[in-house]
Structure 1
Amino acid sequence: MKEDKDSRWFELERVPKDYIFSKEYRPQNVDSPACNSIPVIDLAITTKPVNIGHSQPAVEEIFKASQDFGFFQVINHGIPEKKVTDAMDVLKEFFDMQSKETATGGIPRKRGYIYTSSTDFMKDGVYLWRENIKHPCHPLEECVHLWPDQPTRYQEVIAAYLVEIQKLSSRILDMICEGLGLKQGYFKDTSEVQLLSSNFYPPCPDPTLTLGILPHYDPSLITLLYQGGSTGLQVMKDGQWVNVGAIPNAFVVNIGNQLEIISNRKLKSVKHRVVTSANETRRSIATFVNPSPDCIIEPAKILVNELEPSVYTASQYKDYVQRNKAFGDYTTAIQSALQSES
């Protein structure tokens, strides 16, 4: 560590041993080219929903991407660039704060959000190379006052951002419904943007030894991620880790476990992780669109028939979360929901 008393935990010349993962988890291809086959979908080519069977190009592209990759990016999504920039700026301010409270990870959970420093999450005795803040978002009007009050504009800026995210997530879910053959608004009363999780990944002396986030599946319906044009996100494709391209002002969308279940495995929830960089700082905002806690999660009735029987057992969402609440255990959540096949 540098001798400067104001140095932060990541200002190091080498990676400390308690941040070095075993070879099983250690990334080998942090500098590999981005996977150009992961679709980038222009939402400007879609205006209003159309009848099922007469899908517009963006609907067809989203559905195919959800089947083949479980991941896609959207551009021309309608969220004002300033609201996104303001959100990224205020989160940068939050992570840059040098107050004792944030620097030590001592923010009490009772205040409605959780800040975790690099030493607050451990996997097999190893720390992740990141800082994180997460908090609930629904109902928005009941959550806002529980969020950080420093920086002073945090609550106002993030609330405005989440209003836009809710609109975009509803739009994408409607398009997925159309692709699946479900009625428009199928998720209208049973899904909300319920959780925000923002990560700060500082430069790392040796990215081949560390991880920002462990390999996992998302337990959500869908997840919307803004990564600010920075690299680091990797997805598992054909048994290999590939980098997701960093496109300015684009949102990464991925299919979560719940939507894979509801689609009766027509759509794909895919394992992903975040690797670090020697030179680049990565900041991201992930928003998780989840079912209502009391919802029964099972394949949609219209998607189940004699030729395509249900391959998942029904489960109440809150029970599912309780069973798989530890971060990292989501990697086995889909398998635990599958019925045994004879």
Structure 2
Amino acid sequence: MDKLVSSWYSNVQRVPQDYIFPPEKRPGDLHVPVHEVIPVIDLSEAEQGYRTPTIQKILKAAQEFGFFQVVNHGFSQNLMNESMVVCKELFEGSNEANKKLDSSEDVSKSCRVKTCSLRCSPDKVHLWRDFLLHQCHPLEKWQHTWPQHPTRYQECIGAYSVEVKKLASRILALICEGLGLKCGYFEDEQLSGRMVLSVNNYPPCPEPSLTLGLSKHADSNLITILLQDGVCGLEVLKEDKWIGVEPNPHAFVVNMGCFLQVISNNKLKAAEHRVVTNPNTARTSIAFFIASLEDRIIEPAKELTNELHPPIYKPIKANDFMTQFLAMDADSGAVLRSLLA
């Protein structure tokens, strides 16, 4: 494994050659004009007599942006803050813990720390990013495999995982109701029973216009719940324009994955997004991915298809989708096009 970017970035004044993207893929001007902002949805309104309007807001945001932020979600602010502090400590220069973690290329490993991406070879451009990836559900099966340092990590992120799973279930239930699917559609363990957490660290970068923390992609899962720190970097592509997602310390960012686009028969959008780097400040985010078990067939929901609205996509196993996703360098659009019926 390459050395983590966080272990050497402070010793360079220029971006190394293997981190420089081709001109057509570089972020270029990092001052993204504010054409639009992704919607912010007050989730508490769904429990205060405004359930239908809240569902309509979620579906509209999911259709137009593929992204939205939720506030007043019932999640403990103290737990959000503490989780971010603990995750930042993982990649601090003085912390030796990440050196003891599994850094193998074996994607079956339940907990590992990496740099670059899930699929990075010497002939590919590297990403300006380090990340810790581990499974979360069921908690009793995986928690003991997580980092032991910082000492609070297992307890804190265990509590965080339980609460963010509840939040994801609430949002999926609202989406389920809005789409007109049978009650509990997304509660199927085969469909939403794989939960993975990624702690992403994007160190300061001397030349942000030349590289990326994450290249353009859409998530190959059902739905993602993201907690950002106070540093900008996440951008969403809408109508060929990049929209910066302003950090909100009280909000979670929610984005639709490719599986949800397929299941909804294109009623919902898995939006492409990327992460740009910052010349002065490190950025940390905590992404919680809700995905399907390997053998689960992903296909348009039967309730959403008929003679007038035939299935847009062919069925595919969740594991086969991920295999194609990695083989096509995370080009989610290409994978979805290959599934067109």
After TM superposition, the score normalised by the length of structure 1 is: 0.89
Which AA in structure 1 matches 2:70? V
Pairing of 1:88-103 with structure 2 (within 5 A): 88-98=84-94, 102=98
Return closer, same or farther for 1:106/1:224 CA change in 2, 3 Å cut-off.
closer
Alignment-derived partner of residue 214 in structure 2: 213
In 2, the alpha carbon distance for the partners of 1:153 and 1:201 equals: 22
What is the deviation of 1:241? 1.9
Query: Once the two structures are superposed, what CA deviation does each residue of 1:288-308 show, in whole Å capped at 9, x if it has no partner?
Result: 111233322111111101111
Report the TM-score, using the length of structure 2 for normalisation: 0.89
321-330 vs 119-128, which moves further: 119-128
What is aligned with 1:59? 55
* SS at 1:83 equivalent: helix
Query: Tell me, which stretches of 5 or more residues in structure 1 are unaligned?
Result: 1-6
Conserved in 2, the CA contact under 8 Å of 1:230 and 1:246?
yes
Deviations 1:145-202 (A, max 9, x none): 1111111221111110000111000000011111111122111123135111111111
Name the counterpart of 1:84: 80
Conservation of the 8 A alpha-carbon contact between 1:34 and 1:244: no
Superposed displacement of residue 319, structure 1: 2.4
Q: Give the 3 Å change call, closer, same or farther, for CA 42–24 of structure 1 in structure 2.
A: same
Following TM superposition, the consecutive aligned residue runs of length 4 or more in structure 1 with deviations greater than 6 angstroms are: none
SS at match of 1:324: helix
Uncovered stretches (5+) of structure 2, i.e. residues with no partner: 1-5
Which letter maps to 2:266? R
The structure-2 alpha-carbon separation of the partners of 1:111 and 1:186, relative to structure 1 and needing over 3 Å to count, comes to closer
1:254/1:99 CA distance change after superposition, 3 Å: closer
SS at match of 1:127: coil
In structure 1, how many angstroms separate the alpha carbons of the residues matched to 2:224 and 2:294?
17
5 Å-filtered alignment, 1:313-332, equals 313-326=314-327, 328-332=330-334
Structure 1 stretch displaced more, 307-316 or 112-121: 112-121
Which amino acid in structure 1 is aligned with residue 183 of structure 2? Q
User: Identity over aligned residues, as a percent?
Assistant: 46
Distance across 1 between alignment mates of 2:315 and 2:117: 37
Comparing both structures, which one devotes a greater share of its residues to helix? Answer: 2
Correspondence list, 1:7-86, <5 A: 8-11=7-10, 12-47=12-47, 55-86=51-82
- Displacement after TM superposition at 1:33 (Å): 3.4
Separation in 1 of the partners of 2:143 and 2:74?
A: 23
Q: Which moved more, 1:160-169 or 1:147-156?
A: 147-156
Residues 120-161 of structure 1, C-alpha deviation per residue, up to 9 Å, x if partnerless?
945844221111110111222101011111112211111100
User: Given that residues 101 and 107 in structure 1 are in contact (C-alpha distance below 8 angstroms), is that contact kept between their aligned partners in structure 2?
Assistant: no
What displacement does 1:320 show? 2.0
Secondary structure of 2:294 counterpart: coil
Q: Is the 8 A contact 2:265 2:304 kept in 1?
A: yes
